[in-house]
Structure formats: C-alpha cells, structure tokens
Amino acid sequence: MKTSNERSLASITHLSALSQFIIPFGNYIFPLIIWTSNKDKSEFINHHGKQALNFQLSMLLYSLVFAVIAIPTFVIWLFNLINIAELNHNVLEFNDIISSQNITGMILVGFVALLLFVLLKLSEFFLVIYAAYKSADGYLYKYPLTINFIK
C-alpha cells in the first residue's frame, strides 16, 4: 500500500516535467531533484522518477532525430528559393515557392519530420499528465516508447 505522500511525490515528479514550457531544461532538472532526494525512501517514487527521466531523455533523442531530418531540408529549400529569386531578378512569386521543381521529396520528408515533432510534443504533454494521474492512483506506470537509460 502506497502512502498518499508517496503517490503525491510520484505525481509531482511526472508533472515537474511540464516545467520545460516555462524553464529551459526544467523537464530534466526538477524530476532529477525530486527523484534523487526521495529514491532511497520509497521504491514507488524510485520507479516513477526513473520513468519520468527515461521518458524525457527518450523524447529528447526523438526530437533530435526529427530536427536532424527537418532542419537541413528546410535550409536547402531556402537556398533553392534564394537561387530562384536571384534568377528572377530578386522577385519571388507564390508560384515559384510552390512549384513542382521546388517541392521535392526531400522537402516532403522535412514536413513529415516537422509534423511528427509536433505530434511528439503533444503526446508528451498528455502522457505526462496521464502518468501523473496513474501514479496518484497508486499504479506503477510505464511510458510507451521509452528507452531505459536509467535502470
């Protein structure tokens, strides 16, 4: 039986990851502080602290992969637009931007990576809230698609 204090600390550990929207790297700092200060006191808090940190590290890795795909494709697309503008004497029309020559498979891959990044951040937000809810009810929750960096 988990005490209400353990369940509350586990929920706060998960919810502290949402601080990333206010404080840079807060999604790593605050769960790490809560987890390290309480991991020896309770196996329940230890489990949820590891899960929260592993999930945030996994989201960082997935985000970096999507950024490595999306950013270069958009930079190349921008340079192509600049070249087209120089050929047309610095005049870009809407048809030049959306032409079939300018929208290549590589750009579509970049748009898909950008879309997946947005979906990743949305799912991260809702999964953190769901994990906090489950931990408040006393369940040992495991995030989906999480790489276990901390065992």
Local confidence band at 71 (pLDDT 50, 70, 90 cut-offs): confident
Q: Tell me the DSSP string of 67-124.
A: HHHHHHHHHHHHHHHHHHHHHTTS---HHHHT-TTTS-HHHHHHHHHHHHHHHHHHHH
| C-beta of residue 33 within 8 angstroms of C-beta of residue 45 | no
Domain ranges of the chain: 4-136
Residue-level pLDDT at 74: 79
| Rg of the chain taking only CA atoms, in angstroms | 21
pTM, two decimals, is 0.81
Tell me the mean pLDDT in the region 124-129.
96
Local confidence band at 87 (pLDDT 50, 70, 90 cut-offs): low
Per-residue pLDDT tens digits for 35-69: 999 999 999 999 999 999 999 999 999 999 988 88
Residue-level pLDDT at 134: 95
